[in-house]
Amino acid sequence: MPELATAFQTAQSNVEPSEGDWENAPAAHDEIGRVLAEDEKLSEWGISPILIGSYGRRVSIRRVFDVDMFCRLEDYPTGLAASDVIDRVYDVLRDQYSSPSVTKFDRSVTVLMPDSDGLFVDIVPARKAGTAWEIPVRNGGWIETNPIKMTELKEDKNAEYGEMYVPCVKLLRQSRRTLLGRAKLGGFTVEMALFTACEDGLVTGNSMGEFFASALEGVAEVFRRMADEGFQMPDPSRDGEVLVFDEDADFETARDKFSSAAIDARAAYNMGDDEAGKAALLLQGILGSNDDFTNVFPMPSGYDKQGNKRNYAEGSKPGNQQTTAGDLRFG
C-alpha cells in the first residue's frame, strides 16, 4: 500500500477542532464555573466543575457544538435528591442567562452560551461514590461513572500505541458522522468500541494507514458481537462493570456500516504504490467531509479527483505549475 503518511497527517489536521472551538469551550467552562461557585448553597455543597466528555479527553473533532461540564459536589449532603441539585443549578443559571438559553433535563442543565458560535454546555452534577462518582439518571436516581479515570486510560492507551490511538479515535469519530449520519449511536460508543478492540488484541499497525484499517476491523467486530451475541462492553474505568448505552442505539447498522468501511480501508492499505489515488478515494468515502473541507482525506499530489494518475510526458510542461508526481510512499 502507499502509506500516504502525509495525506493521513492532513486528514488528522482537518478533523481537529478549530482555534475558536478550543477557545470557546474553556472560556464557557470558566464563566459558568464562576457563576455556580458564587451561589451560596452550591458553594456549601463544595461544587468543583471540570470539563469531561470528548473535549475533556481531547478527542473532540471539528466542530465542537457541545461540551460536558462535570460538577463535582465534594460536600454533598446525605439525603439530598438529584432533582434538588438539578433545580438549584437551573435556578442559578436561569438568573444569569436568559430563560430560552437555559434548559433543564432529568440529568443535567444545558446552557446555550452567548457569543460562542452556538456552543452548548451540558452541566451534570456529581456526588462522590467511593473512588468514583455518581450522576443523575432519568428516574431520579443515580448511576456510577468515573470520567477522570477514563481520561487517564485514554492517555495510557495513546502511549501504548505510539501516539496513534488518540488521532485514530478522532478519525473514527469523523467516520461515524459519515457512515451513520442520524443513526442512533454516538462518538463515545465508537471510542469505547476501539478501546475494547485494543484490549482484546484486535488492533495492530506500525503506520496510521495500517492502524486505521485495523481499528475499523476491530470496531466492526465489537459491534458485531453486540448486535449478534448480546455482548456488553466492559467499563474500563470501573472494575467488573459494563458500559450502558441508550436503549435505541442501533448496533446492527453500526455493524454493517463499519464492516463495509473496514473492507474498504483494508483494500486501500493493500493497494500498490501506483494506486495511491484509488486508495485515497476509498478513504474519502469513509471519512467524508466536514464544514471546512470538501474531503477530510486529501487526494495525494499527482492524482486527479477520480484517483487517476496525472500524465506528464516530460516532467512539468511549460507554464504548468503541477510538478511531476514523486514517490508517494511516505513512511
What are the two backbone dihedrals, phi and then psi, of residue 290, each rounded to the nearest 5 degrees?
-130, -170
Between 83 and 205, the higher pLDDT residue: 205
Whole-number Å distance between alpha carbons of 302 and 34: 53
Span 29-57, average pLDDT? 85
Q: Judge whether residue 28 has pLDDT over 60.
A: yes
Reported confidence tier of residue 163, pLDDT bands at 50, 70, 90: very high
Helical residues (DSSP H) of the chain, grouped into ranges: 5-14, 19-37, 40-44, 53-56, 82-96, 147-160, 165-180, 187-199, 208-229, 251-270, 276-287
Pick 279 or 182 by higher pLDDT.
Answer: 279
Q: What's the chain's length in residues?
A: 331
Q: What is the pLDDT of residue 3?
A: 57
Q: Which of 82-91, 128-137, 165-174, 298-307 has the lowest mean pLDDT?
A: 128-137
Domains belonging to the chain, first-starting first, are: 19-145 (3.30.460.90), 150-270 (no CATH)
Is the CA virtual torsion 251, 252, 258, 263 positive or negative? positive
Q: What is the pLDDT of residues 212-244, one digit of tens each?
A: 999 999 999 999 999 999 999 999 999 999 998
Name the percent of the chain lying above pLDDT 70.
Answer: 90
- Answer whether the bond into residue 63 is a cis peptide, omega within 30°: yes
Looking at the predicted structure, is the pLDDT value of residue 321 above 80?
no
| Cβ proximity of 258 and 180 under 8 Å | no
- For 93-136, the pLDDT digits (tens) are 999 998 789 999 988 999 998 877 778 999 999 998 888 899 98
Predicted TM-score (pTM) of this structure: 0.83
Q: Provide DSSP, 19-88.
A: HHHHHHHHHHHHHHHHHHHTSHHHHHTTEEEEEEHHHHTT---S---EEEEEEEETTPPTT--HHHHHHH
Residue 115 confidence (pLDDT): 75
- Contact yes or no for 133/126 (Cβ under 8 A): yes
Rounded Cα distance between 8 and 207, Å, is: 10
More confident residue, 88 or 65: 88
Q: Read off the amino acid at residue 66.
A: D
CA–CA dist 193, 5 (Å, integer): 25
Q: Is 300 a residue whose pLDDT tops 80?
A: yes
